[in-house]
Amino acid sequence: MTRESASRGAIDATPLAERTLPALLRRQAERYGDRPCLDITGAEWRHADAAREAARIGAALKAAGIGRGDRVALMGGNRVETLAVFLGCGWIGAISVPINTASMGPQLAYFLADSGARLLVVEAAYAARLETADLSASALETIWVIGDPEAAALPPTASRRVRVGAFPRETATVEAEAVAPGDTLAILYTSGTTGPAKGVLCPHAQYHAWGANSARILGVRGDDVLCTALPLFHINALNTYAQAALSGAQAVILERFSASGYWPAVAASRASVIYLLGAMVPMLLAQPESATERAHRVRTGLGPGVPAAAAEAFERRSGVRLIEGYGSTETNFVIATAADPARRGVMGWLQPGFDARVVDPHDAELPAGEAGELVLRADEPFAFANGYFHKAEQTVEAWRNLWFHTGDRVVREADGAFRFIDRIKDAIRRRGENISSYEVEQVLLSHPAVAEAAVFPVRSELAEDEVMATLIARPPQAIDPAEIARHCEPRLPRFAIPRYIDVVDELPRTGNGKVQKFRLRERGVGAGTWDRAAGTAPAKQDSAADPRAVPKP
């Protein structure tokens, strides 16, 4: 029997009807009461506090006219108000829409319009970005500012119809709504590959499954302290809270990730479980070796996407063996290694409650050892997302033949382990963020000197991707790459701004005129490529061994 076939079974024993956020918060309060639950940017909760905060924010939302099914956009950092709004929405059956805090005006406008959010909760530090957001297509009625309401700089067309006020501090509470496990808890935007970002419809039971499954894989106990510096607009940090709520543990959510300050922060939190992404580990390893790397009580950590050599070096320096795994916003934590022993170089083995296949372009299953697309499905209702918001065609395409198509090329080995090869879809992942090449191309094309643009990934020294753009000038103008980068700065998150820019006379195309991005990836960085990190063209290199290679710094 392989590890794959042995892993079948239920995710957890909670009845399906009770896999909702209100039911979770009530159980949490009853079971764990006064035990520490949350430490986030100076605020602390006991487990019983979570239900009270959800009920309080739920009451404020209802007073603002928000009800079941209404969307509430949320753009805040790792602070208690951000999590409280997420919980408050779930308490009354509303739907939270977390927005990446790096989003600038155009992206913010898109998220608000696409989601149909009636209320925006925004931290004062990000509120000024509303001034460059076209809100004409949005349904926005109210803005709550965490901090000074005067920070919200609305465009004139919106200032006449949108009410701006301070984040509510009232103490009134409201009873929870009777939500169902398949009701949408949140819309989490994940970058598209051929178009704008798609809003993933995440039901209550999927959030419960994320927490239960992750806690089981990591062996989370009631006396654990779970420490993450990942942002609350991603499922990662939201899932850390779910693990704590389910197990009676404490979640410590750091304000932000700092490579130089990470280990002192972990030690101060008394963390026993940590959460990292692939690019974070090389950043930590780039720091000078220090005694602080072992001055902690961490017993395990989650590190999906960490290269094997980096994981080995991380364990050697810190004493922490990271668990590798695979999941996505649309799915769950479906594949994982074991804490001990764990074979390097694989994503892991299929976890209970899920099924996986490696298939050819026609969805026929491939034998072990042959690379194909990873497709997934869940054994239990609502353990995966329900589709994409207002995007029926994309939903049918992604879930065709009743399997979710990940767009990732993998190999299933003889012992059932899954090994990642590359991505099939034209997506870019940098610094733990998914980047839509389409969205970057639209910003590039908004510059008057750019006639055509193709954006694609090239390999980064940090184990993920760097963004590269190949441009064609609009005659009679010439393209200045530095000027193009400056054009992107107020219009794109920093992680999405192209590092490398090539200017060419023509792009490789298929017979029907579609740009062949795989040829651009094969060409990679050349002698004439402009490098934003250096401000100059790098030296010519031989990229035959790795067509996505970039020069070493």
Q: Is 98 exposed, middle or buried (0-12, 13-18, 19+ CB in 10 A)?
A: buried
pLDDT of residue 148: 92
Among 101-105, 194-198, 548-552, whose mean pLDDT is lowest? 548-552
% pLDDT > 70, the chain: 91
Q: Could you read off the pLDDT of 240-289 as tens digits, one per residue?
A: 999 999 999 999 999 999 999 999 999 999 999 999 987 788 889 989 99
pLDDT of residue 522: 86
pLDDT of residue 345: 82
pLDDT of residue 546: 35
Could you give the maximum distance between any two Cα atoms of the chain, in Å? Answer: 71
Rounded CA-CA distance 407/370 in Å is: 16
Is 547 a residue whose pLDDT tops 50? no
pLDDT of residue 339: 62
Q: Could you read off the pLDDT of 90-146 as tens digits, one per residue?
A: 999 999 999 999 899 999 999 999 999 999 999 999 999 999 899 999 999 999 999
pLDDT average, residue stretch 369-398: 96
Give the angle subtended at the CA of 193 by the CAs of 435 and 433, to the nearest 5°: 20
Among 5-9, 92-96, 368-372, whose mean pLDDT is lowest? 5-9
Among 244-258, 416-430, 441-455, 474-488, whose mean pLDDT is lowest? 416-430
Confidence of residue 552 (pLDDT cuts 50, 70, 90): very low
Angle of the 80-92 helix axis to the 21-32 helix axis, nearest 10: 120
Of residues 40, 313, 282, 271, the one with CA closest to residue 263: 271
pLDDT of residue 438: 76
Q: What is the DSSP letter of 322?
A: E
pLDDT average, residue stretch 300-305: 92
Residue 259 near residue 288, CB atoms below 8 Å: no
Tell me the pairing of strands 95-98 and 322-323. Answer: unpaired
pLDDT of residue 550: 32
pLDDT of residue 517: 83
Is 233 a residue whose pLDDT tops 70? yes
pLDDT of residue 426: 63
pLDDT of residue 301: 96
Confidence of residue 194 (pLDDT cuts 50, 70, 90): low
| Amino acid at site 209 | A
Rounded CA-CA distance 93/88 in Å is: 9
Q: Identify whether 476 is preceded by a cis peptide bond (ω within 30 of 0).
A: yes
Q: What is the pTM of this model?
A: 0.84
| Residue 382, CA distances (Å) to 20, 66, 127, 377, 489 in order | 11, 25, 35, 10, 39
Structural domains of the chain, with CATH: 47-200 (3.40.50.12780), 428-531 (3.30.300.30)
pLDDT average, residue stretch 4-33: 82
Is 312 a residue whose pLDDT tops 70? yes
First-to-last C-alpha distance (Å) of the chain: 47
Give me the phi and psi of 205, to 5 degrees please.
-70, -30
Is 42 a residue whose pLDDT tops 60? yes
Tell me the pairing of strands 250-253 and 36-40. Answer: parallel
Among 8-12, 296-300, 394-398, whose mean pLDDT is lowest? 8-12
Among 191-205, 350-364, 402-416, whose mean pLDDT is lowest? 191-205
Q: What mean pLDDT, rounded, does the chain reach?
A: 89
pLDDT average, residue stretch 71-93: 98
Residue 253 near residue 240, CB atoms below 8 Å: yes
Q: Could you read off the pLDDT of 150-189 as tens digits, one per residue?
A: 888 888 777 778 999 999 999 999 999 999 999 999 999 9
Look-up of token digits 């063209």? 537
Helices (H), 77-131: 80-92, 105-115, 124-127
Is 8 a residue whose pLDDT tops 60? no
Among 109-113, 134-138, 422-426, 497-501, whose mean pLDDT is lowest? 422-426
pLDDT of residue 435: 81
pLDDT average, residue stretch 27-56: 96
Q: What is the DSSP letter of 176?
A: P
pLDDT average, residue stretch 439-465: 86
pLDDT of residue 158: 79
Residue 441 near residue 452, CB atoms below 8 Å: no
| Residue 187, CA distances (Å) to 54, 122, 390 in order | 18, 17, 11
Of residues 309, 236, 258, 234, the one with CA closest to residue 462: 309
pLDDT of residue 480: 96
CA-based radius of gyration for the chain: 23
